[in-house]
Amino acid sequence: MKGLFKVVSVFLLLGGTLASSQVSPFDSASEKSKLIALENAWNQAQIHRDGQALTALISDGFVYTDWDGTVLRKAKFIADIKDPLVETTFVANEGVEVYFYPGVAVVTGAYRTKGKYEGKAFDHHGRFTDTWIRIGENWQCVASHTNLIQREAH
């Protein structure tokens, strides 16, 4: 009887562990909506110079490649977003596509950003590629690349 109790206990323990470790089914439509919302939150963080919001969106190992070839790590990227010489007044994405791989999503699209740099107006139109990894139920961006299509300074 003692042996049977041990077997049943182990079975229940393993069954509970396996059940709790199973990942919920992946809903690509729901995850696509989450990622687009995160991209839009990123845009708002840029407009409001909200480094704290961006810190939550990007990983500690984040790498950003700017349209001019500059490569920034997380700390410098956050510092640049908070730069008082840059006044971003508008950021919007269009034509956003999301491509899923196991634990990874690649988001591509076009962007438009307007504002002032050192008092001079700018209007940029370009493309972006962001790579996100899924950690549990959350997403974090690990890499971002922008490519400028049109640059207007006023």
Residue 24 confidence class, pLDDT cut points 50, 70, 90? low
Domains, the chain, ordered by start: 27-153 (3.10.450.50)
Angstrom distance (rounded) from CA 40 to CA 43: 5
Residues 54-110: pLDDT tens digits?
Answer: 999 999 999 999 999 999 999 999 999 999 999 999 999 999 999 999 999 999 999
pTM given for the model: 0.80
Structure tokens at 98: 């999301």
Residues 6+ apart with CB under 8 A from 21: none
Angstrom distance (rounded) from CA 118 to CA 144: 25
